[in-house]
Amino acid sequence: MELTLAITAFFTLFVVIDPVGLAPMFVAMTRGMSQRERLRIAATSCVIAVCILTVFGLAGQKILDFIGISLAAFRISGGILLFITALDMLFERRSARREEKADDVVETANDPSVFPLAMPLIAGPGALASMILLASGAEWDVTIMVIGVMIAVVALVFALFLLAGPIERLLGATGVTVATRLMGMLLAALSVQFVVDGLRDLGLLATL
């Protein structure tokens, strides 16, 4: 059971954070910088993103309780949010927005590690929602497992940041497009499952 949860958590966070899709953005935002400067920016952005996602994984349920939102309602809204993210991936709208953000940051700032790399590209709305859905209300061992999986995914982001240039040349534009759309299709199915789980928690789908 824990292995299944770990696989689900890894797939969800991998697709939502999208390390492969972030790599070209990192190249665009750090073009002209030295390898040492790129290493610093990559490390800073990933550490900040891990901290933000960990807070939401640990305190997400308390945040919902304080606001007065049930976990079932958040599952449904989170599933809808992930479905919109999946549509963006399928039709490449998210990539276009990321490229626009990258161009803006290159023109207006020298250090993109906090914004937009840490937020909203790594620890974006979809990733925050996923952490709450996966970890909130669970046993401590499950919560720790989810946080560990999240750290592993962000570590992949860091590795791909360091290898962004060669990977982009290896995959090419077509390879990146195919990978993004395939993950979008799988994320769409997973987001529907989140909505079904939320409706079942509300007692509206008791027979499923």
Question: Please, are residues 136 and 64 in contact by the beta-carbon 8 Å criterion?
Answer: yes
Name, in order, each residue with C-beta under 8 angstroms of 114's C-beta and a sequence gap of 6 or more: 44, 45, 48
CA distance 197 to 54: 23
Summarize pLDDT for 49-83 with one digit per residue, the tens: 999 999 999 988 788 788 888 877 877 887 787 78
Pick the closest to residue 160 from 204, 117, 208 (CA basis). 117
CA distance 204 to 200: 5
The residue to which tokens 């299709």 are assigned = 185
Name, in order, each residue with C-beta under 8 angstroms of 17's C-beta and a sequence gap of 6 or more: 122, 124, 127, 153, 154, 157
Residue type, position 108, single letter: T
pTM score above 0.75: no
Pick the closest to residue 67 from 132, 135, 161, 148 (CA basis). 132
The residue to which tokens 């599952």 are assigned = 75
**Mean pLDDT, to the nearest integer, of 142-161?**
95
> Between these two residues, 116 and 101, which has the higher pLDDT value?
116
Read out DSSP for 109-170? -S--IIIIIIIIIIS-HHHHHHHHHHHTTS-HHHHHHHHHHHHHHHHHHHHHHHTHHHHHHH
**Mean pLDDT, to the nearest integer, of 105-111?**
53
